[in-house]
Structure 1
Amino acid sequence: MEISNRLKAISDMVDNNSVIGDVGTDHGYIPIYLAKQHRIKHAIALDINKGPLEKAKKNIKEYNVENYVETRLSDGLKEMKENEVDTIIIAGMGGTLIERILDDGSNIVCSVHKLILSPHSDTQCIRKKIHELCFTITKEKLIKDEGKYYNIICAERGKEKKYDTIGYKYGKILIEEKEPLLKEKLQVEKNKYTQVLEILDRQNTENAIARKKEILSELNILEEVLGCL
């Protein structure tokens, strides 16, 4: 079974013989792929929308993994019980929504060993939420798929010392490992900020001056991180 680089990278974070809950499963590709690879004991594929879940059911049947993967119509973790799974995967949505799902299902989250989270935005908030939930970030990967950058964060139960501002914003592990893609991504961001500054330099409104100050502050942080990579 062929899956995207992003879904493959998420799947690679799953331990062998895990029991997973895939929240926002869409068409069920991650649990199906893991089942076909004989990597998991069982999977619960959850989605809030009936359409994608019906498609997931068809895919599960087509790939003959009905004994390994079940589906549930669920808003986040609401249709899951404590201790049903040891690993929760939440990917393909914004960080604010992931944070809400984790908060609403905190009793379920507290019963699992591992979280694998891949927010499309607000990654900083997710790193902070992981620590609030008393999990340790053990791995973080940055990938590029079809021209877009995606963070994949793996966390396991256990307290960890809080990060500083830069660690939360850009990923302490990615910085320590001198991730080449992080350098590439930040260089792209730096170029965008520089272009905006050129426009703002031609304006003299209060809003423009305030925005310029914000961007210069962001650029200073970017330069600091780039110097570490």
Structure 2
Amino acid sequence: MLDMIKLSKRLQSIADLVTPGSRIADIGSDHALLPVYLVQSGRCPSAIAGELNKGPWQAAVRGVAEAGLANVIDVRHGDGMSVLNAGDADTVTIAGMGGSLMSMILEAGWQGGKLQQVKELVLQPNVGEDLVRRWLVERRFALQNEIIMEEDGRIYEVLHAIKAANADSHNEALYDSSFLPLKLTESAGRKLLYAMGPLLLREPSACLVRKWQLELAKLERICGQMLQSDTSEAREKEAAFRQEMNLIGEVLACLPTVKPSSS
């Protein structure tokens, strides 16, 4: 067997959230680095690596064989959760794609009965984290942990959720925005927590502040572009963006332990 592979900071954060002893299925596994590490390290007894694109799938097959793990890591070629059968895995990981696509893959897996016996999800959407959080609530997964990190100039969030009998009550309390010293309606508060992360906001970090400072700068640029148009639609969109920006700014200003740095 080859030496233990070294993961990126992003993939290591995902690996660290996987419950030891779980049978893992990594969907969109690329070169199967995560499954190889999880089995090599002894954290998981077996793994499935699912990959749609032929080049990465072939690389995954080779990498698993070179690691001497072909007997315990099954590299499968297919789209999303079509590579799984019910009962194949305890934990599903999905990383490195947009939240919209990730939510569609999860929902297709749910509808196809592929997630019935899955106890745990570890998810790393590149964008659209709010869509993934909404899906978890709708399908009664209880969010346990959220990690935010920066690597190579990009900021990533990792979400860890489990299937729980008390998921509804857990999520109801989790997405109650009353801990923020802001006057928000229930729907506005919930939307805010879906976007910014209910656990991230409860234990704010400098990385969280930086992410949303960058988001404010992006929204400011969009508003500037809209000033080039005289249409009423552009004015309405700009007003909506300004309202969103004001709310984000208020949230950043009231976070309990971290204040936004001056830009």
TM-score by length of 1: 0.93
The aligned counterpart of 1:166 is 192
The aligned counterpart of 1:206 is 232
Amino acid at match of 1:161: N
The aligned counterpart of 1:219 is 245
Task: State the Cα distance separating 1:116 from its structure 2 match.
Answer: 0.7
The aligned counterpart of 2:35 is 31
Partners of 1:118 and 1:153 within 8 A in 2: yes
Query: What CA RMSD, in Å, does the superposition of the two structures yield over aligned residues?
Result: 1.7
Partners of 1:31 and 1:43 within 8 A in 2: yes
Q: Which runs of 5+ in 1 are unaligned?
A: none
Q: Distance in 2 between matches of 1:24 and 1:142?
A: 21
Q: Could you tell me the percent identity over the aligned residues?
A: 31
Counting matched residue pairs gives 229
2:51 aligned to which of 47, 60, 63:
47
Please state whether the residue corresponding to 1:77 is helix, strand or coil.
Answer: helix
The aligned counterpart of 1:180 is 206
Amino acid at match of 1:184: R
Amino acid at match of 2:128: D
The aligned counterpart of 1:137 is 143
Matches within 5 A, 1:51-200: 51-106=55-110, 107-158=113-164, 159=167, 160-162=170-172, 163=175, 164-198=190-224, 200=226
Please state whether the residue corresponding to 1:18 is helix, strand or coil.
Answer: coil
Task: State the Cα distance separating 1:175 from its structure 2 match.
Answer: 0.2
Task: State the Cα distance separating 1:34 from its structure 2 match.
Answer: 1.1
Q: Distance in 2 between matches of 1:99 and 1:73?
A: 20
Amino acid at match of 1:150: Y
Partners of 1:178 and 1:228 within 8 A in 2: no
Q: Distance in 2 between matches of 1:203 and 1:109?
A: 47
Amino acid at match of 2:83: E
1:11 aligned to which of 9, 15, 18:
15
Amino acid at match of 1:141: I
Task: State the Cα distance separating 1:197 from its structure 2 match.
Answer: 3.9
Amino acid at match of 1:125: L
Q: Distance in 2 between matches of 1:183 and 1:212?
A: 23
Are the structure 2 counterparts of residues 53 and 203 from structure 1 closer, same or farther at C-alpha, using a change threshold of 3 Å? closer
Amino acid at match of 2:135: K
